[in-house]
Amino acid sequence: MFAIAELSIKKLKEPAFFIMFLTALLLSYMFSEVDPLSDQTAAGSLLSQVLKSDRGYSLLTSSFFAFTITVIIAVFTGATDIPRDIESRMIMLIMSKPLKKTEYLMGKFLGILGLCAIFFFSTEFVILIAHYIKTHEMYSFMVIVRQFYLFLALLPLCALSVTVSCFLPDLSAMIITAVYLLFSISFSTVPLLVAMLPSGLAGAFESYIFVFYYFFPNFVYFFQTCHVVGIVPLFLLIYALSSTLILLAIANVRIRTRDLI
């Protein structure tokens, strides 16, 4: 399983990945001093209130930027890895080893997560160092820890791209994952708005919205301002793990039943 993960992580040595990695580091240095994310949204909007910084530690825009770059890597790599193994018959070679399909899937997931972790943490460290170079001050420990919590959002995201890749060929999987993500982001504030309406106003309609909404992980929760220790970080972890588990379970059912030739 870890050997499979290692195969994915080794992609970083490929020139395209390496150039992208260096570009991400360079850009994160350039964007390190942008105002917090809560200042980037329209004043008074729902999102600005969810992200506002007076109730804990808010997310830095540069961290959001690092996250966005990592999302691109997760979608492009996660959605193409398994279909390319199948297309190139590499999977037959791998399956000839004493390895279960579930272990192969978990290896792919961990590999993509590892790749994303390298991208995310490297860009974050560059942001912290750039801030120190530019201002001769370090961010407080709590602010730094809060930025690293964003990594939790990458768990369901990597699981999502791996799951979609178990169903579709590489290009289709990439497009569907991107569309799914965009839809998930655009729909993310709707349940918050519905939750703010007086009870009973939405009626049965509310149930339909939530049934539909539960099919999409809500990434806005990972961006909200929160304390480093408390209920919100704990439930962010639980939310990330549970949604990842559900997505990987779906992927597991698919990969165990599909024809790999």
Nearer to other proteins, 172 or 189 (CB): 189
Q: Is 243 in the site for other proteins (CB under 8 A)?
A: yes
Q: Which of 222, 215, 220, 175 shows the shortest CA–CA distance to 193?
A: 220
Shortest distance, position 73 Cβ to other proteins, whole Å: 25
Residue 150 Cα to chain centre, angstroms? 8
Distance in angstroms (rounded) separating the CA atoms of residues 194 and 111: 38
**Can you tell me which residue has the tokens 């974050």?**
124
Q: Is 5 in the site for other proteins (CB under 8 A)?
A: no
- Name which position in 96, 137, 203, 211 contacts other proteins (CB under 8 A): 203
Q: Is 30 in the site for other proteins (CB under 8 A)?
A: no
Q: Is 7 in the site for other proteins (CB under 8 A)?
A: no
String of b and e for 44-62 (b: at least 16 CB within 10 Å)?
eeebeebbbeeebbbbbbb
Distance in angstroms (rounded) separating the CA atoms of residues 25 and 54: 30
Shortest distance, position 254 Cβ to other proteins, whole Å: 13
- Name which position in 68, 197, 229, 258 contacts other proteins (CB under 8 A): 197
- Name which position in 10, 19, 30, 55 contacts other proteins (CB under 8 A): 55
* Helix ranges (DSSP H) in 88-219: 90-95, 101-135, 141-148, 154-167, 170-187, 190-196, 204-213
- Name which position in 189, 228, 254, 260 contacts other proteins (CB under 8 A): 189
Q: Which of 78, 74, 93 shows the shortest CA–CA distance to 167?
A: 78
Q: Which parts of 208-237 interact with other proteins (CB under 8 A)?
A: 209, 214, 218, 220-221, 224-226, 231-232, 235-236
Kindly list the residues in this chain that would bind other proteins in the complex (CB under 8 A). 44, 46, 49-50, 52, 55, 189-198, 201-203, 205, 209, 214, 218, 220-221, 224-226, 231-232, 235-236, 238-239, 241-243, 245-246, 249
